[in-house]
Structure 1
Amino acid sequence: MKKHITALAVAMTLGCAAASQARADSITDYIKFEAGVGFGVAKDMGDGTWIQDGSPDNCEKLTFPAILAGFTGPVFQRGAWDVRWHLDYAYLGEQRASVMGVPDDQYNPKTHQIVDYDGERYSPFNGHGHLQGIPATLDLGYTYRDWRFGAEAGAWIYWQAWHESLYDLANQWDDLSHKTVAQVGFVAGASIERGPLSVSYRYYQVSSKWNPYPGLVTGAHVLMLRYRF
């Protein structure tokens, strides 16, 4: 009887250990940490919104550093084909714009020229901001000779911060900042990977919504070096 109890106890112990190992393996296999660094170029709202190409001292900084951190894992695999999921946090910033501008009714953004100018002084506009958000994508890949070629698409919840100040013709400072709220846009991209290291490109779509004033950015192209741990 004691032998049977001992054997049963050993079997249960081994079974629990195997189950624990299986659970540990499943977590490791299906959820991995990933991180990336890179740079990007933003797409602005166009001439006439926070910039005036035909006005003095017009200046934009649309390039920015980018960082990413999050999780990834497999969804499906058959032969050389596979699908992965990505859930990350991305920071894209910062962007800047400034100009010695004129009122909207004295500027033609189509011809990029000041019109009906009556000789008033120019008004300094100064703005800066950044983007941050949580992209969630599915990544379809094909592996050839240890090189994986992927294409991904999905959506992201993002927040655009844009702080704009104007010293107007009445000699007063005006706050024309965009109110930061959560918005939804799409994400699409491609990647080349070997082992845990990859080079990826993503396009992040951004709304041109006024709230009550617009931000500067309507999209961002981001190139990044990523590592999967």
Structure 2
Amino acid sequence: MRTINIATAVAGAALVLAIQNASAQSFFEIEAGAGATYYTLTEGKWFQDGALDNHVVSHAPALMIGLTGNVIDRANWGVDWHADLNYFGGVSASCQCTISDADYNPSTHQVRKGATTESYYGSGHAMGVSLMLEPYLKYGGWKFGAAAGVLGYRKTWVENVSGWAGNFGDPRPVPVHLESAHGISFAPAVGLDVSYERFTFSYRYYFTSRNEGNTPPLWDDVQTMMVTYRF
């Protein structure tokens, strides 16, 4: 609830300041962008680099569309606000991995000889709405900004294991189907922007590993790099 209150306060402050500075060129503009997502991963969480048939694949680019405008706009500096819908793309992982974590060494990427392995396959994606404030400096036709705010997001991860032993009241390996908890989570977000006229190169880091739940997704945090355009 504290995160929600902070997000509400940031959005409210941005709105009040924007109204007070109505002399800016426009109250808001549409912005859209596309680029790449980098999911930070932890070795051994739904994949094992040293296991047979280990594959981790990203399936789609990062996409964004939203609204932006001026909170403050002075000759050499200012503050912008951003309210964006973000799709981070899909990712999947598969391997012939060990059932027991004790049978795999993530430091050396080695599977213990004679260890029991099973087929793992999982896939998922994440998307959400970010609210951010971006103070910036102007130099010539360029703008250099640093953004901070909050991401409200929904993650989806589905994992299928051909045989999992000892966890479900049956000593024999049994097929298992797992799904991440549905619902909205909140995470801090930071970023850097370099803009020229209506084009922006944007970097964002979302601290999504703070809210993983009982069945965590493949990834920890999420990073994006995009080229965006203001209409």
- With the shorter chain as reference, the TM-score category is 0.7 to 0.9
What whole-Å deviation, never above 9, does each CA across 1:92-151 have from its counterpart, x for those lacking one?
011111100111232233332222635x4x311001111100111101111111111111
Whole-angstrom CA distance in 1 between matches of 2:120 and 2:77: 51
Task: Pick the aligned partner of 1:194 from 178, 185, 196.
Answer: 196
Per the alignment, residue 95 of structure 2 pairs with 99
Counterparts of 1:155 and 1:192, CA distance in 2: 20
What residue ranges of structure 2 are gaps of 5+ in the alignment? 1-21, 165-171
The size of the alignment, in residue pairs, is 202
- How far the C-alpha of 1:200 sits from its partner, in A, is 1.0
Cross-structure match for 1:37: 34
Deviations 1:13-63 (A, max 9, x none): xxxxxxxxxxxx87971121111111121111x121101122111111247
Secondary structure of 2:26's partner? helix
| CA-CA distance at 1:173 after TM superposition | 2.9
The within-5 A match list for 1:78-157 is: 78-104=74-100, 105-115=102-112, 117=114, 120=116, 122-157=117-152
Report the AA paired with residue 29 of structure 1.
S
Separation (CA, whole Å) in 2 of partners of 1:157 and 1:198: 23
Gaps of 5+ in 1: 1-24
Distance in 2, Cα, partners of 1:161 & 1:180:
7
State whether structure 2 residue 37 is matched by structure 1 residue 49: no
What CA distance in whole angstroms lies between the structure 1 residues aligned with 2:144 and 2:185? 30
Identity %: 31
TM superposition outliers: structure 1 runs of 4+ over 4 Å? 25-28, 169-172
Closer/same/farther in 2, CA of residues 69 and 221 from structure 1, 3 Å limit: same
3-state secondary structure, aligned to 1:222: strand
2: CA distance, partners of 1:26 / 1:208: 40
Cα gap change, 1:208 to 1:123, in 2 (>3 Å): farther
Contact 2:186 2:211 in 1 (8 A): no
- Partner Cα distance (2:37, 2:52) in 1: 27
TM-score (norm. length: structure 1): 0.81
Whether the aligned pair in 1 keeps the contact of 2:124 and 2:158 (CA below 8 Å) is yes
What CA distance in whole angstroms lies between the structure 1 residues aligned with 2:105 and 2:226?
37
**C-alpha spacing 1:210/1:81, structure 2 compared with 1 (3 Å):** closer
State how far apart, in whole Å, the 2-side matches of 1:216 and 1:84 are: 33
| In the alignment, structure 1 residue 68 sits paired with structure 2 residue 64 | yes
- Offset, 1:210: 4.7
Following superposition, the deviation at residue 216 of structure 1 comes to 0.9
Larger Rg: 1
The separation in 2 between residues aligned to 1:108 and 1:214, in whole angstroms, is 20
